[in-house]
Chains A and B, each alone.
Chain A
Amino acid sequence: MLNKELKNTSVNLSGVILDNPVIPASGTFGYGQEFARLYDLNILGSISFKGTTLEPRFGNPQPRIAECPGGLINSVGLQNPGLEKVISEELPALGRIYKKPLIANISGFSIDEYVKCAEAMDRQKQVGIIEVNVSCPNVHNGGMAYGVDPKSAAEVTNAVRKATKKPLYIKLSPNVTDITEIAKACESAGADGLSLINTMLGMRIDIKSRSPVIANKMGGLSGPAIFPIAVRMVYQVAKAVKLPIIGMGGISSAKDVIEMMMAGATATQVGAANLVNPMICRDIIEELPVLMDKLKINRLEEIIGIVQ
């Protein structure tokens, strides 16, 4: 008989201790309300809530979703009610159902917008970590534009660093030639950690109508299809920097969590899988100690980056 109590699943993200490394990824979990009807969210390691921008955003035109083998393309375009409403309405509502430190995912269209969001999130007691999205492929003149060039990634990091004392994680784009260059630039500019990977730019065409499936033509590919790429990039970045990494990209099982941690991730985020199985995070958390037992792992932290 497995004694789950003997298995230590806790991990440490820059001083924020998580009970387990399973975190729903930003944009796939809203503000938790829909999932709270299915299970107690307090079992989660943390929650990275829907990306916040300074101003409210409707997002991109319809359709925004395309099915792909082993995943989906989305082009939601950072739809969110804006910083003010997130702080006055969504965070208090989430606070009533979730009591652990949150990850505040923020985006901007200028350095000033990133800074304003970071300053406001810095004042929120509920927020444990600030995750700066410089990698959204679905908005122009922002998001990914900052994450595909080491110099601009460093500029954002540096500016946001001055705006918060909370642990600062930069969420990186896989749509680059060498992700380690961007990672190193963020490390030098004062980041406490890195989140990777965001979605990969993709496209589908409806061969009957001879037009793109997504209204915005291209969008971000997520799901199991990108998992091997995510593992490879986490592995490369873990070897290139000393920062803790939140690994993500197609994680759908406890096995994937272990694999991502062995590649170098301290914690993991589950994204697309929430959309097809709303119970997936709960299932993974229940499965983790069982799998640890099979693999003779007592403390999850002992496997972080164990692959040479």
Chain B
Amino acid sequence: MQTTDFKITANKAITKDVYELTLSGNLPDITPGQFVNIKIPGCYLRRPISISNWDNEAGTITLIYKVVGEGTEILSRKKPNHSLELLLPLGNGFDTKLTTENTLLCGGGVGVPPLIGLAKKMLVEGKSPEVVLGFNTKDEIFGVEKFQALGLEPRITTVDGSFGIKGFIIDALKTVNFDYVCSCGPVAMLKAIYSFVPQENAASRGGALEKNSEIGGQYSFEARMACGFGACMGCTCMTKEGYKRICKEGPVLLKEEILW
């Protein structure tokens, strides 16, 4: 963890309220799924935002965020060459050693960005994941071309059916073959995937509980945080292995430890 000043190189809207922010500065080693905590002028608390992509050689980092309140609204108005102070890298990211050749990446809304960095790292390691991205409607879709640039073709779902498969992410999974899952998005989505995955893909069709142990996975959670580095206990959740801080032991938790 370090505090570093970064310079904005780009900060542009990619949908009505989702922005892509590119910053340059001294990068530490980053694991996909980790996040930064940004100091925003005019706000007391920093704002935690997941790291989407980064380039150690160029010294650039990309964050994709949605304007949801005062802090992100201020951030969306920041122009290139402006400096921002970041605390990074924070949290435990995705462990690619646990992923398989047939891994499924599921992202919902602003849960999509960390999967871009994850897909990139998996490809470097010789694993080509299946990608399913879920949005509410056509106008909210983003990030597809980032996966395409990596040679992956994401399947898209929209709740209103205005693009791709109508419905939720799980509605797209019936035809996908996979034996491991990495997911990031709203808790309801994570829970739906967790409940759905083993039933549709397990070799045997025994009891649902039994099958929960058959397909492994990593799930990334959101929480309201203060410090972002484990000091305040503001984001603690209960797991099967006791209390865990979403900012420190998370945001990525292993399927085996999650209490839904």
Residues of B within 8 A of A274 (CB): 227, 231
A19 to chain B, nearest CB (A): 22
Does A88 reach chain B (CB closer than 8 Å)?
A: no
Q: In whole angstroms, what is the CA distance A67 to B234 when docked?
A: 12
B3 close to A276 (CB less than 8 A): no
Does A92 reach chain B (CB closer than 8 Å)?
A: no
Tell which of B3, B39, B43, B226 has the most Cβ of chain A within 10 Å. Answer: B226
Closest Cβ neighbor of A63 among chain B residues: B224
Q: Which of B1, B223, B225, B231 contacts A30 (CB 8 A)?
A: B231
- Please provide the chain B residues from 63 to 105 with a CB less than 8 Å away from any CB of chain A in the complex: 70-71, 87
B226 to chain A, nearest CB (A): 5
B227 close to A59 (CB less than 8 A): no
Contact with B along A53-79 (1 / 0, CB 8 A): 000001100111111111110101001
B157 to chain A, nearest CB (A): 26
B3 close to A279 (CB less than 8 A): yes
Tell which of A63, A66, A68, A278 has the most Cβ of chain B within 10 Å. Answer: A278
B contact residues, range: 20 to 34
- Please provide the chain B residues from 202 to 242 with a CB less than 8 Å away from any CB of chain A in the complex: 223-227, 229-238
Q: Which of B71, B226, B238 contacts A58 (CB 8 A)?
A: B238
Tell which of B1, B44, B224, B235 has the most Cβ of chain A within 10 Å. Answer: B44
Residues of A within 8 A of B223 (CB): 62-63
- Please provide the chain A residues from 237 to 291 with a CB less than 8 Å away from any CB of chain B in the complex: 272, 274-279
Contact with B along A8-37 (1 / 0, CB 8 A): 000000000000000000011110011101
Does A6 reach chain B (CB closer than 8 Å)?
A: no
B226 close to A74 (CB less than 8 A): yes
A74 to chain B, nearest CB (A): 6
A34 in contact with B229 given A70-B44, A275-B45 (CB within 8 Å): yes
Secondary structure of the B side of the interface?
loop
A64 close to B45 (CB less than 8 A): no
Does A223 reach chain B (CB closer than 8 Å)?
A: yes
Does A1 reach chain B (CB closer than 8 Å)?
A: no
B227 to chain A, nearest CB (A): 4
A103 to chain B, nearest CB (A): 16
A221 to chain B, nearest CB (A): 11
Q: Which of A28, A35, A68, A279 contacts B232 (CB 8 A)?
A: A28
A76 close to B232 (CB less than 8 A): yes
Q: In whole angstroms, what is the CA distance A79 to B223 when docked?
A: 17
Contact with A along B9-43 (1 / 0, CB 8 A): 00000000000000000000000000000010001
Q: In whole angstroms, what is the CA distance A277 to B229 when docked?
A: 11
A34 in contact with B231 given A59-B236, A62-B223, A62-B237 (CB within 8 Å): yes
Residues of B within 8 A of A69 (CB): 44
Residues of B within 8 A of A272 (CB): 44
Q: In whole angstroms, what is the CA distance A230 to B228 when docked?
A: 26
Q: In whole angstroms, what is the CA distance A75 to B193 when docked?
A: 31
Total number of residue pairs linking A and B with CB closer than 8 Å: 89
A25 to chain B, nearest CB (A): 11
A65 close to B234 (CB less than 8 A): yes
Q: In whole angstroms, what is the CA distance A223 to B226 when docked?
A: 12
B180 to chain A, nearest CB (A): 28
Q: In whole angstroms, what is the CA distance A217 to B92 when docked?
A: 30
Q: In whole angstroms, what is the CA distance A58 to B236 when docked?
A: 8
Residues of B within 8 A of A277 (CB): 3
Q: In whole angstroms, what is the CA distance A80 to B208 when docked?
A: 35
Does A295 reach chain B (CB closer than 8 Å)?
A: no
Contact with A along B236-250 (1 / 0, CB 8 A): 111000010000100
Closest Cβ neighbor of B39 among chain A residues: A276
B230 close to A74 (CB less than 8 A): no
Q: In whole angstroms, what is the CA distance A33 to B237 when docked?
A: 20
Residues of B within 8 A of A307 (CB): none
Does B120 reach chain A (CB closer than 8 Å)?
A: no
A34 close to B230 (CB less than 8 A): yes
Residues of A within 8 A of B236 (CB): 58-59, 62, 64, 76, 79
Does A2 reach chain B (CB closer than 8 Å)?
A: no
Q: In whole angstroms, what is the CA distance A278 to B85 when docked?
A: 13
Q: Which of B39, B71, B231, B235 contacts A65 (CB 8 A)?
A: B235
Q: In whole angstroms, what is the CA distance A90 to B134 when docked?
A: 43
B217 to chain A, nearest CB (A): 22
A224 to chain B, nearest CB (A): 8
Give the A-binding residues of B (Cβ under 8 A): 1-3, 39, 43-46, 70-71, 87, 223-227, 229-238, 243, 248
Give the B-binding residues of A (Cβ under 8 A): 27-30, 33-35, 37-38, 50, 58-59, 62-72, 74, 76, 79, 223-224, 272, 274-279
| New A-B pairs, 12, CB < 8 Å, besides A66-B224, A71-B44, A276-B46 | A30-B230, A34-B229, A34-B248, A38-B1, A58-B236, A62-B235, A62-B237, A65-B224, A72-B44, A72-B226, A79-B233, A278-B3
